[in-house]
């Protein structure tokens, strides 16, 4: 287990579920990942759920607002990316081809955020911390470990994120035929951009979060028993790991990842 006290700029620092049935989602993820839910009031009828692992913040959930449902926004996971200034990040995103969906605003005394959309359509949030640094735990089952950007234009999207966050977008030299692009933030690989060709027609651009699973098959089977839908059953990527893509009972899509070290390492 790794405890996290702060996140470097450009890193994925928080993961948040927007859902149509918050109570059911709490039960599902508590059973699947061992998350302990802690509810915080957000007005007279709403609450924000912080999911904890070993007493540290791991993720969150809220109920989609009526205006979001009116726009036919489905249940989904949203990634937050650490920045020094949410205002500056929003301004920069607009300058390099993105769209500001929600202008920079304070979230009580926790931090400051802005909701942005890249030029190809994927939505994400930037986070400027105050009292909340985001996720506080990593490298154990049920923690965020990776994210893939599903986009019809990997090159355009890659340039946008590189301009905005300074990410290095790198080809996989060991597997050039598949055209998978790795995302490197500083010294750390944090995600990737798969090639556009296998994408299902009509799938909106989106970020797909991966959660650690020391036994991908067992967790995928448990998720299915709890009502999840399997989009991609567990499969092995040689010398990388084993992964699966699922949707929770309300429809929010996520992935599992089981690290498999290379032989001799």
pLDDT digits (tens, 9 = 90+) for 20-75: 999 999 999 999 999 999 999 887 788 999 999 999 999 999 999 988 888 889 99
- Residue 174's pLDDT band (cuts 50, 70, 90): low
Shared domain check, 96 and 144? no
Does 264 reside within a domain? no
CB 178 within 8 A of CB 172: yes
| Mean predicted lDDT score pLDDT of the chain | 94
The pLDDT tens digits for 206-238 are 999 999 999 999 999 999 999 999 999 999 988
Q: Model pTM?
A: 0.95
Does 46 reside within a domain? yes
The residue among 116, 137, 158 that closes a domain is 137
The pLDDT tens digits for 74-87 are 999 999 999 999 99
What is the torsional sign of CA 91, 93, 97, 99?
negative
Encoded tokens for 133? 């640094």
Backbone angles phi, psi at 139, to 5 degrees: 65, 25
pLDDT at 265: 45
The residue among 137, 166, 194 that closes a domain is 137
The residue among 86, 112, 137 that closes a domain is 137
Distance CA 205, CA 37 (A): 29
């Amino acid at each position: 287990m790794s405890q996290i006290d702060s996140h470097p700029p450009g890193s994925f620092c928080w993961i948040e579920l927007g859902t149509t049935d918050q109570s059911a989602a709490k039960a599902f993820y508590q059973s699947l990942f061992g998350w302990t839910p802690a509810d915080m009031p957000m007005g007279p009828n709403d609450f924000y759920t912080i999911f904890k692992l070993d007493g540290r913040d791991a993720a969150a959930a809220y109920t989609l607002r009526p205006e979001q449902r009116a726009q036919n926004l489905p249940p989904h996971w949203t990634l937050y990316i650490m920045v020094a200034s949410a205002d500056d990040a929003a301004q920069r995103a607009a300058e390099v081809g993105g769209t500001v969906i929600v202008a920079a605003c304070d979230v009580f005394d926790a931090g400051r955020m802005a909701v942005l959309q890249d030029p190809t359509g994927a939505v994400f949030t930037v986070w400027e911390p105050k009292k909340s640094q985001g996720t506080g735990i990593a490298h154990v089952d049920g923690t965020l470990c990776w994210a893939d950007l599903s986009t019809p234009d990997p090159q355009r999207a890659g340039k946008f994120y590189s301009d905005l966050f300074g990410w290095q977008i790198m080809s996989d030299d060991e597997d050039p035929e598949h055209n998978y692009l790795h995302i490197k933030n500083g010294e750390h690989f944090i995600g990737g951009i798969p090639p556009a060709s296998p994408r299902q027609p009509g799938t909106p651009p989106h970020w797909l979060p991966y959660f650690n699973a020391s036994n991908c098959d067992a967790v995928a089977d448990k998720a299915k028993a709890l009502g999840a839908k399997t989009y991609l059953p567990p499969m092995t990527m040689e010398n990388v790991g084993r992964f699966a893509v699922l949707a929770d009972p309300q429809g929010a899509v996520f992935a599992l990842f089981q690290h498999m070290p290379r032989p001799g390492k």
